[in-house]
Amino acid sequence: MKLTIVGGGSTYTPELVSGIAHQYAALDIEEIALVDPDTERLEVVGGFARRLLDHAGHPAKVRLTADLEAGADGAAAVLLQLRVGGQAARVTDETVPLECGCVGQETTGAGGLAKALRTVPVVLDIAARVRRVAGEKTWIVDFTNPVGIVTRALLNAGHRAVGLCNVAITFERWVAGKLGVAPETITLEHAGLNHLTWVRAVRVDGVDVLPRLLSDHADELADHVGLPADVMRRLGAVPSYYLKYYYRHDAIVAGQQGPSRAETVAEIEHRLLQLYRDPSLVAKPALLEQRGGAYYSEAAVRLVASLLGDKGDVQVVNVRNGSTLPFLPSDAVVEVPARITGAGPVPLPVAPLPPAIAGLVAHVTAYENLALEAALHGGRDRVFDALMAHPLIGQIDQAATLADRLVAVNRDFLPWAAA
């Protein structure tokens, strides 16, 4: 089987390749095609990927190419992990909103909108080209942020796509470590949107241990998600760590008046690429853990194996809402547990969300719909409308200033803005 990774020059790629190398039984891969327009970087990452596989005794061959059609031809699954504009664009995503007193984060708020504007048209072009050479049965697994918006764009265009995020598996592994249990014994009642989710039950062999976590590991849990334990007890749920941008917006903004996360990541990437160039390096460097994306490789391998093997196991993915959250449109994309079959993910029933959660989910869903409209059709006014609909912005003066600034700094990536 052939697996294609678009954005193969990413410093994330060795994490994924290492996961493939050490989960040989889960996925019978004969070829991994790494596709990236940055051929110099691709050679560095690709060389390290080959050493990882060789060291693990995995027989898969690694093919490097800047040609998407050549890389995707014959692929059973294509993983998307690209960043349009690179780390330089991420810097503006994180700093421009701060100038208006809004949180600076690459997937949440105005930064997430900017990323969607740049990313959605590129991903749709890639998916259409993949479909032409690989066929309609090829699965597209999207790890490219903002995952919910990008996945909805792919599904609306008729692609066989699933969105994937590492938030759920990271929390699953955190719980396993705290309780000293095997991760496979844990199931999460996880619901919401990408980067806007709550865990409402944590079952170990069928028994809900969330009350125990909130009692015995309250301080550690608070540190893990960046929110007070008493708030979680009040909600009766554990919000993902992205909810701190909503629940503690002003405090987060005050704490962001320094070097951006993007600048830190750019330095980490520079150091990682230097390490990857070392021909004696045959295992993931510890520095890679600081890059982010924990357990991404395990989540990706597990998802692809289940889609192609029709396993019918349950995983948390980004999927069409249908009637899962009845207060949302059926074509919205939600992040919930789903049974993974050869025909695609089937979302499992979700207990009704309380108003304190459902209201925010509905609000952000409305924003995501407008963000997708802006990404697909362009126009400063559509950007303004999306910003006005976002719960972290929603003020005329801020939305107007941000709309002008986001269009200006992303002009090179927005054909309609350059006209």
User: What residues act catalytically?
Assistant: 242
Q: What are phi and psi of 140, to 5 degrees?
A: -110, 120
The 3-state secondary structure of the chain reads CEEEEECCCCCCHHHHHHHHHHCCCCCCCCEEEEECCCHHHHHHHHHHHHHHHHHHCCCCEEEEECCHHHHHCCCCEEEECCCCCHHHHHHHHHHHHHHCCCCCCCCCCHHHHHHHHHHHHHHHHHHHHHHHHHCCCCEEEECCCCHHHHHHHHHHCCCCEEECCCHHHHHHHHHHHHHCCCHHHEEEEEEEECCEEEEEEEEECCEECHHHHHHHCHHHHHHHHCCCHHHHHHHCCEECHHHHHHHCHHHHHHHCCCCCHHHHHHHHHHHHHHHHCCCCCCCCCHHHHHHCCCCHHHHHHHHHHHHHHCCCEEEEEEEECCCCCCCCCCCCEEEEEEEEECCEEEECCCCCCCHHHHHHHHHHHHHHHHHHHHHHHCCHHHHHHHHHHCCCCCCHHHHHHHHHHHHHHCHHHCHHHHC
Contacts of 253 (CB under 8 A, 6+ apart): 98, 101, 102, 103, 104
Beta bridge partners of 259: none
Radius of gyration from C-alpha coordinates of the chain: 21
- Two structure tokens written together for 51: 């050493």
**Residues composing the chain:** 419
Q: What are phi and psi of 153, to 5 degrees?
A: -60, -45
Contacts of 270 (CB under 8 A, 6+ apart): none
What amino acid occupies position 287?
L
